[in-house]
Amino acid sequence: MLIDTHCHLFQEYYDDVDSIVKDMPGIMIVSGVDLKSNEEMLSLSKKYDNVYVTLGIHPEYASEITDVSLLTQYFDNEKVVGIGEIGLDYHYDKSNKEEQKKLFIEQIKIANKFNLPIVIHSRDASLDTLNILKEYLNTKAIMHCYSYSKEMAGEFLKLGIYFGIGGVLTFKNSEKLKQVLKELPLDRIVLETDSPYLTPEPFRGKQNIPNNVSLVAKKIAELKDITYEEVVKITEKNARYIFNIKK
Ligand code: NI
């Protein structure tokens, strides 16, 4: 079964979220980025058996959020399977690095305490991300949309971290990620779309949907020289293990 471990099925992006969900034969793990989208994604997960949710405050909202312990009010719901997406993003805004780090660390501590995996967003912040994870991580974790070097991937592998692989792998200019993928053991890879963003080829430029995760699986099969079915099987196993999904 295909599992899209990371997508944002927000109403503000899609005309008809229900049809997008019904279009996907496998499991979707939808992800919030702020208080409003967390609640919206939690509702969606309650509506559909094959939709699970990760809740978190994205670094982009670091300056708006004062109390991340608010997240824990939802943890008794069985559809909540992780914390994300959380992390560091210095690409557009470097001015609030300290706020971002604080928010990231606080959410990692909550994840450790509740034994929930985290889904990490990290952009232009590889060293700070690595150092924080080295110091605080005590639960399972996925680097979502990994964009750093092969050497850095080795460091994250040493920490037991998994890698979310998405549409970027299918892009013509993604030689760096293709090289990284060759080094990654299959038991550390999960599939993701990051819908509505990062639509895989041949649909690049259009709005992304969870069902496109099959295109990512096909590309991994090609690059790893194994069958599509093997990729689907092992990434399903990994995702079920990380997020403790048994159904
Ligand atoms: Ni995302």
Taking only the tens place, the pLDDT of each residue in 51-88 is: 999 999 999 988 887 788 889 999 999 999 999 999 99
C-alpha of residue 180 to centroid of ligand 1, in Å? 20
Which amino acid belongs to residue 222? E
Structure tokens, 4? 């899209």
Q: What does the pLDDT read at residue 240?
A: 98
C-alpha of residue 25 to centroid of ligand 1, in Å? 21
Taking only the tens place, the pLDDT of each residue in 125-172 is: 999 999 999 999 999 999 999 999 999 999 999 999 999 999 999 999
Q: What does the pLDDT read at residue 62?
A: 84
Q: What does the pLDDT read at residue 66?
A: 74
Q: Which residues contact 199 (CB under 8 A, 6 or more apart)?
A: 167, 193, 205, 206, 207, 208, 212
C-alpha of residue 229 to centroid of ligand 1, in Å? 26
Set out the domains of the chain in order of their start, with CATH numbers: 3-243 (3.20.20.140)
C-alpha of residue 227 to centroid of ligand 1, in Å? 27
Structure tokens, 29? 């793990």
pLDDT greater than 90 at residue 178? yes
C-alpha of residue 138 to centroid of ligand 1, in Å? 22
C-alpha of residue 7 to centroid of ligand 1, in Å? 6
C-alpha of residue 151 to centroid of ligand 1, in Å? 23
C-alpha of residue 155 to centroid of ligand 1, in Å? 22
C-alpha of residue 224 to centroid of ligand 1, in Å? 25
Taking only the tens place, the pLDDT of each residue in 180-221 is: 999 999 999 999 999 999 999 999 999 999 999 999 999 999
C-alpha of residue 73 to centroid of ligand 1, in Å? 22
Structure tokens, 16? 């008809």
Q: What does the pLDDT read at residue 92?
A: 85
| CB of 213 closer than 8 Å to CB of 239 | no
Q: What does the pLDDT read at residue 93?
A: 79
147: closest CA among 168, 173, 131, 129? 168
Structure tokens, 44? 């969606």
C-alpha of residue 34 to centroid of ligand 1, in Å? 12
SS (H, E, C) the chain: CCEEEEECCCCCCCCCHHHHHHCCCCEEEEECCCHHHHHHHHHHHHHCCCEEEEECCCHHHCCCCCCHHHHHHHCCCCCEEEEEEEEEECCCCCCCHHHHHHHHHHHHHHHHHHCCCEEEEEECCHHHHHHHHHHHCCCCEEECCCCCCHHHHHHHHHCCCEEEECHHHHCCCCHHHHHHHHHCCHHHEEECCCCCCCCCCCCECECCCHHHHHHHHHHHHHHHCCCHHHHHHHHHHHHHHHHCCCC
Q: What does the pLDDT read at residue 184?
A: 97
Structure tokens, 119? 């889904």
